[in-house]
Amino acid sequence: MPLVSMRQLLDEAAKGGYGVGAFNVNNMEQIQAIMEAARETQSPVIIQASRGARAYSQDKYLFHLMLAASELYPEIPLVMHLDHGNSVETCKSAIDLGFTSVMMDGSLQADGKTPATFDQNVEVTRQVVELAHQKGVTVEGEIGVLGGVEDGHGAGGSGHVTDPAQAVEFVAKTGVDALAIAIGTSHGAYKFSSKPDGSVLKMDVLIEIHKRLPGVHLVMHGSSSVPKDLQDVINQYGGKLKPTWGVPVEEIQLGIRNGVRKINVDTDSRLAITGAIRKVFIESP
């Protein structure tokens, strides 16, 4: 199956009442693992590259690895997505390369660290929507600011929870296909120091946004579950991960029942590959 637009994938997910995993990649091995899992579970999949990943692996390498995935797994609907584009120019470069979906993260300024104003966010996101829709490319926007840092992108700290009223206004003014919201999740392995509850993970805000925007596809960033068994493998073979908790699967499922169609995962796959490499190096020196 050729690469598809993310809008097409998320529309189908909305009809079926499910969410689609979106996995960050940097290299061939990660793509191979994701595609094997997608085949095993007969699931559509979103493979996404951040600006850091594109710089690390060079655009053409990464693009052709993703293209190869679509050829080797023709039965899997596959989206090639830019994660956390920091400017109109960054998004345009991904569109020109052949990405079928882009995220314009206008919640932060072009430095990827400083929170932007609402009006700045609307303006850059609207420009990307106009550019992308001419070519049938999906656009994800973000309102609110996520905590943590991913590939050098992020405001750090705990972020700023999305205002439901602003979310409605943002969608109306930009025309985005999908909306990333901030509800207390964050990038990185150290999301929560204990199992999160309603005081840190604002699922009530998500539910309220879905009530106000029932036809909009919502996105949960920073949604790795950080499973303890993956942490244990790393620490068993010389790692020094401090105790940490991710987003519980049941909270992700609650989100899916309330409009979440794209679930971003990065840390979990990094934990898995790190633990596997450590184990092999120790057991097969």
Report, as residue numbers or ranges, the catalytic residues.
83
Q: Are 155 and 187 in contact, with CB atoms under 8 Å apart?
A: no
Closest C-alpha among 7, 15, 1 to residue 136:
7
H or E segment to which residue 92 belongs: helix 88-97
Report in angstroms the alpha-carbon separations of 28 from 42, 47, 173: 21, 12, 38
Closest C-alpha among 92, 113, 100, 93 to residue 178:
100
Token pair of 224 as six digits: 């790795």
**Phi, psi for residue 32 in degrees, rounded to 5:** -60, -45
Rounded Cα distance, 282 and 177, in Å: 46
Diameter of the chain by CA atoms? 58
**Phi, psi for residue 30 in degrees, rounded to 5:** -65, -45
Residue with tokens 């620490």: 235
Closest C-alpha among 141, 123, 252, 139 to residue 191:
252
Rounded Cα distance, 12 and 56, in Å: 33
Question: CB neighbours of 189 closer than 8 A, spacing ≥ 6?
Answer: 224, 226, 241, 244, 267, 270, 271
Tell me which amino acid residue 75 is: E
